[in-house]
Amino acid sequence: MLVGHYGVSFAAKRGDKTIPLWVLFLAVQLLDVFWGVFVLMGVEKVRIAPGITASNPLDLYYMPYTHSLVAALVWSLGAYIAYRGIRAFGGSHRAALFVAVAVFSHWVLDLLVHRPDLPLYDNAAKVGLGLWNYPAPAFLLEVATLFGGMALYLRSTTATTRLGRYGMPVFGVVMLAVQASAFFGPPPPSDRAAAITALGAYVLFAAVAGWLERRRV
């Protein structure tokens, strides 16, 4: 799953409005953010294997430090501690808990779409329900998750400008177009290119979400 993760960001923002939306955008992708960094460092491994699933050409064969169940729990706990401890946020227990749940939601949603490449611990006991092998249902799940969460957020806030009124839905459509291009277009030329592209998208999406959030109250 890619942009569907952001549906959790929008839902969590409705749950606690003190959390900046850009923080939640990074939280739901935190496992993938560190995955990209670790791939570039050579710590985790991925191969470009077109056809390995019907939707995604990445063979994610070694990612124990970001996408094992144990690692996801550790990263979620770390996010909770960090959000409570960083003075700029001054996060309450409730807010930090929402951030931690947002981080862990990544693993849960990935479980639905990944082939069995998500380890429960280390690089062993891999699981995944494989929805990526069914492109239409997988893409519809992304749409439903993203816009379902966004609808909750939009109903709990009020636009202060025209951009604030229409910006988020348009942004959602753009994100889906980016996902369609990534999954159904030409595969990335290398593992490093895949990691760099992913990192760039996560930073850009978070920045745009934060910018659009300031147009709503």
- The 3-state secondary structure of 74-127 reads HHHHHHHHHHHHCCCCCCCHHHHHHHHHHHHHHHHHHHHHCCCCEEEECCEEEE
Q: What are phi and psi of 46, to 5 degrees?
A: -150, 145
- Write the pLDDT tens digit of every residue in 198-214: 999 999 999 999 999 99
- Write the pLDDT tens digit of every residue in 157-187: 999 998 989 999 999 999 999 988 888 889 9
Query: Could you state, in order of their start, the residue ranges of all structural domains in the chain?
Result: 5-213
pTM, entire model: 0.95
Distance of alpha carbon 161 from alpha carbon 159, whole angstroms: 6
